[in-house]
Structure 1
C-alpha cells in the first residue's frame, strides 16, 4: 500500500509497504501503528493513527508511480525492502530496481 503522512505537510513522508487489515476490516496496521478510517471526513487524508491522531493517505499503489496527490512534488517515496521486488514487477511492470 501507499502510505503518506499528511500531518507533516501536503507532501509528507511517504512509502510503499505491506499492511495488515484487521479481521473486521475497520483498521490497518503498518510499522507498529494502527490506522482507522476517517470515513470521508478528512481533508487530503483518509486514515488516522489511533495513538497519535496523525492523518495519513493510504491507498493501493498506482501502476504509473504517481501516488502523491501533488504530482509536481519531487519528494522521494521509500519502498520497503520486503515488497520492493513485487512492487516493481507486479505493480509497475518492470524488473526490480
Structure 2
C-alpha cells in the first residue's frame, strides 16, 4: 500500500473549510480508490455528487477532503484553522516545510 503524508479534513457537519483537519499518514490501496486514516476506511467519492469532498467514510458516510499538504500551509481555503499534525508525521512534515520532498514523492 502506498503511504503518504496528506492533509485530511472532515467536511460533514461543518461550514466550508471549518471542520477539523489533520496532517498525517494515509495508506492508499494500489488503485488509489481506498484510503485508510485514523482507523477509518475512506473510499473515493467520484460520481457521488459530494460537495467539496473527494472521499467518504464507508461506515459513517462522513465526507472528507484529502490532498497533499501545501508548503505555505494554505491547506484550508477559507478558514484560519490550522491542521493538527500527528506525532508520527511531524518530523517528515517539518522537513517538507523546510524544502525536503514528501516521503514517497521524491521524484515528483
Same fold (TM over 0.5): yes
How well do the aligned residues superpose, as a CA RMSD in angstroms? 1.4
Deviation digits for residues 2-60 of structure 1 (CA, Å, limit 9, x no counterpart): 00000021210000000101133210001100111111532111110010000011000
How does the TM-score come out when normalised to structure 2?
0.78
1:56 and 2:60 aligned: no
How does the TM-score come out when normalised to structure 1?
0.86
Deviates most, 81-90 or 47-56 = 81-90
Unpaired runs of 5+ in structure 2?
1-5, 100-108
1:15 and 2:22 aligned: yes
Alignment partners' CA distance in 1, 2:67 and 2:31: 18
Unpaired runs of 5+ in structure 1?
none
Alignment: residue pair count: 91
| One of 34, 55, 78 as aligned partner of 1:27 | 34
Counterpart of 2:87? Answer: 81
